[in-house]
Structure 1
């Protein structure tokens, strides 16, 4: 059982530090029934999670299968500073009300993956606020500025003459202090968090709590383009809160190569099951599209329901495979005649008229399922179905 657990825990990992401690914790669980704690921190800087965030959640769920009790840490205090990881400038400070609203949104979403009975949701303001000035000063004595500037993003900004606030130096110290207070056995995070994760080990030694956490790092999930990391700002993301049809369609849009990355990091299928699917595709007994559809069904059902996932699958087949229009779409009424590029913007199908014109040039725009090429096309009185790309539809009524 220990080997099986280690195999699933190692799955998709980029790096594990102190694997011997991890093995000891698992051994004590299987032989003595002793549980252990696994910490993961999330700063509620935005209200919605996307599938890139859930890579960590899936790993936490794996630990829950093998004796781990999850410390799901919401950084309501540290979010006021903002994690400087990978940032080329100081981040704006969020208002407390926005942080609390985002934190509640996180709580509503994470239990679609985690077992609430094996999860403690904690907020780091509970122990950082009581530190006070004296405690904060003591914390700053545990690390020096030279070591802090070894961190890659700080080093680049310092050499480039770009401002670094003192509060940003505090961020990794506070994240590490979370591990001191919680006495975490393991902490997990993305590969970009290595400096902060190791700070937890350092501070557990400095504060002599009698243990040093093992560290497990997960890779950053690529977005729909298969190149850049999944990000809302890049528009290549799949949100946990996406509607079933959107989620299903977005997953089917990924490449056949990227599909295996998503299977490894997001699917509940075992490694042996995934290997069998790969073999089937390679030998030609399974079509890649069918395997991708199975992944889309699994993920959509996880965040919605089995019924909604199957409805999304049927709708996708009807709309895309049979070139039909969706049964439901947003409806708009506009005064006409109206320029088609503006109509696309007003119907929330395009962000700007210039983008609308580019999409018309690319052949991505259809009116009543017929492509248009005239960028100056005017819509007269009547009812139309507007379409941009494969997934964006709107029903428009033009009145004079």
Structure 2
């Protein structure tokens, strides 16, 4: 081989080497771009899940830890374990009680495991949270009956097939005295007395049973048993849920995040939703009553009710906030809210009928949207059933007076004149008696 041929061979080899380096660089650059795109997509999913989880929440403790857990869950396909404890003492659920259940449903829709812990064992102690005296312990039959009622109601919200229901007696009844003493050694009396309810009872001279100190400890032990990643509860459960974080760390587990949902104001817009105050929306109420009650929600609570009583996604809620801020009519969004809430608990046909009823009865201002309730036992299903409740409420003095008002055209149902006592009535109907008194019929 002469010198010229040798140079050509060398040049050719250098060119191939350069091309190879370029190709490898391009392959690496593509791999880097793909990896960056995957990372961006991953973080987009993480941010979306965290927005859904945080939406409407009063507080989230352990947020950074939870974000790492969410990221690991997406990467591995292993769902998080979300714990929600229920003390089976008052099984009648309204949409205020349902706030944490709706949040659980949202996280269930994200693919995570929901574990509802029925406190059959702790229910026998009674949660002292917010109480000015010790709670009466529930009997086994009361716990069982209430727990069954709870499940009937919570599965109007949660997916039964994707929800674990556990009774904490499964593991708490197995604790020995030695185990109980070891559990008690993880907290001081001074720490337990930081609770406002215990402090107020101690200062007021109201007895505090030693067994009451065990309630938050046993609730915390539930988290250890389940190895919960997140526990959800109301703001009134802060002490108990944070106890779970502490005990998990004590037992060498990764601490659960703690998500607290706020208390929901009732339809009066001021007091906490309560059946005793009459400002509640029951999840088992008929569609007409539910739709009409939601329409009584004050304008300043529209967004909060969307956040806490529906499964709306953050991106959709952003649009509603913007449109309300731009001066759109709040009533339009209240009707969307009423339809959305009612659809969560009733069929499309029932919701459509409720919406039609409301528009016919209220939109033309034949009757006001906010009226008092008249509790009636509907035996005949006619106005005749309303006579005694009207007398008891002081609306009329006697049945004879009520009959005279009907004859004189002084009684209307849903804005239409009533002609006789045989007029059919049902829950949700609004009566106008005399010139100014409006009453909504509710079954009692």
Return the TM-score normalized by structure 2: 0.75
1:336 is aligned to: none
Deviation readout 1:297-342 (Å, 9 max, x if unpaired): 1111111111111111112223334548xxxx96457xxxxxx9xx
2:70 is aligned to: 26
From 221, 232, 247, the equivalent of 2:264 is 221
Deviation readout 1:135-171 (Å, 9 max, x if unpaired): 3233222212111111111111111212222222111
Q: In terms of Rg, which structure is larger?
A: 2
2:323 is aligned to: 280
1:337 is aligned to: none
C-alpha displacement at 1:84, in angstroms? Answer: 1.2
1:149 is aligned to: 193
C-alpha displacement at 1:201, in angstroms? Answer: 1.1
Cα gap change, 1:157 to 1:314, in 2 (>3 Å): same
1:263 counterpart = 2:303? no
Query: Could you tell me how far apart the structure 1 residues matched to 2:319 and 2:421 are?
Result: 53
Query: Could you tell me how far apart the structure 1 residues matched to 2:101 and 2:81 are?
Result: 14
Contact 2:106 2:311 in 1 (8 A): no
1:238 counterpart = 2:287? no
2:441 is aligned to: 392
Q: For 1:121, what is the secondary structure of its paired residue? A: strand
Range with greater deviation from structure 2 (59-68 or 186-195): 59-68
Cα gap change, 1:330 to 1:235, in 2 (>3 Å): closer
1:120 is aligned to: 164
1:83 counterpart = 2:127? yes
Query: Could you tell me how far apart the structure 1 residues matched to 2:189 and 2:158 are?
Result: 38
Contact 1:43 1:79 in 2 (8 A): yes
1:370 counterpart = 2:415? no
| Aligned positions of 1:5-16 closer than 5 A | 5-16=49-60
Query: Could you tell me how far apart the structure 1 residues matched to 2:378 and 2:230 are?
Result: 50
Query: Could you tell me how far apart the structure 2 residues matched to 1:389 and 1:133 are?
Result: 61
Query: Could you tell me how far apart the structure 2 residues matched to 1:45 and 1:271 are?
Result: 33
Cα gap change, 1:89 to 1:389, in 2 (>3 Å): farther
Q: For 1:232, what is the secondary structure of its paired residue? A: coil
1:51 counterpart = 2:95? yes
Q: For 1:131, what is the secondary structure of its paired residue? A: coil
Contact 2:50 2:67 in 1 (8 A): yes
C-alpha displacement at 1:112, in angstroms? Answer: 2.6
1:319 counterpart = 2:357? no
Contact 1:52 1:230 in 2 (8 A): yes
1:299 counterpart = 2:341? yes
Cα gap change, 1:290 to 1:18, in 2 (>3 Å): same
From 137, 149, 159, the equivalent of 2:181 is 137
Gapped regions of structure 2 (runs ≥ 5): 1-44, 368-375, 413-419, 426-430
Gapped regions of structure 1 (runs ≥ 5): 334-339, 373-380, 395-400
Return the TM-score normalized by structure 1: 0.83
Q: For 2:98, what is the secondary structure of its paired residue? A: helix
Q: For 2:89, what is the secondary structure of its paired residue? A: coil
Cα gap change, 1:310 to 1:94, in 2 (>3 Å): same
Q: How many residues align?
A: 364
Cα gap change, 1:28 to 1:138, in 2 (>3 Å): same
| Aligned positions of 1:88-237 closer than 5 A | 88-208=132-252, 210-237=253-280
Cα gap change, 1:136 to 1:248, in 2 (>3 Å): same
Deviation readout 1:85-105 (Å, 9 max, x if unpaired): 111111222222222122112
Range with greater deviation from structure 2 (37-46 or 92-101): 92-101
From 86, 103, 109, the equivalent of 1:65 is 109
